[in-house]
């Protein structure tokens, strides 16, 4: 089964392709998977579209696919996350972090949600920030 993720980056295509080839910017997850990547000029001279097609055959059929979605390990979701981080690095030079979830998204964290508030020092140290 093939699935596609697309993101638009507000930079010229040549620059985006150069960043993609760079070890520092290219998403590790996409580099490790069987994915086809293409770059297209966005309509209206609005940057570059990055198209990533991921081939995946979930073990266990539909049930296996549901389990991967619940655990956050579904290939398309991981690809989309990697593309968002790539866009942030290319456009701003950093990946913004929130005090609410400094380590990023995780199912365990979502199950223990609380209203937004500053982290305690022990929580900051635990997250490695």
- What's residue 106's pLDDT? 54
- What's residue 2's pLDDT? 77
pTM above 0.75, yes or no: no
- What's residue 113's pLDDT? 64
Residue bearing the bigger pLDDT, 74 or 122: 122
Report the C-alpha gap between 76 and 78 in whole angstroms.
5
pLDDT by residue (tens digit) across 3-51? 888 999 999 999 999 999 988 888 877 766 778 899 999 999 899 999 9
Give the pLDDT band (50/70/90) at residue 72: low
- What's residue 58's pLDDT? 62
- Domain boundaries, given as residue ranges, for the chain: 2-96, 97-129
- The whole-chain average pLDDT of the chain stands at 79
- What's residue 28's pLDDT? 77
């Amino acid at each position: 089964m093939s699935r596609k993720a697309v993101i638009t980056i507000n930079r010229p295509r040549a620059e985006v392709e150069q960043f993609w080839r760079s070890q520092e910017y290219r998403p590790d997850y996409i580099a490790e998977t069987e994915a086809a990547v293409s770059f297209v000029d966005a309509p209206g001279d609005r940057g570059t579209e990055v198209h990533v097609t991921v081939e995946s055959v979930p073990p266990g059929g539909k049930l296996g696919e549901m389990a991967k979605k619940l655990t956050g390990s579904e290939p398309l979701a991981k690809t989309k996350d990697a593309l968002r981080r790539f866009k942030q690095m290319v456009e701003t030079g950093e990946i913004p972090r929130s005090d609410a979830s400094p380590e990023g998204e995780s199912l365990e964290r979502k199950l223990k949600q609380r209203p937004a508030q500053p982290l305690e020092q022990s929580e900051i140290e635990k997250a490695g920030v």
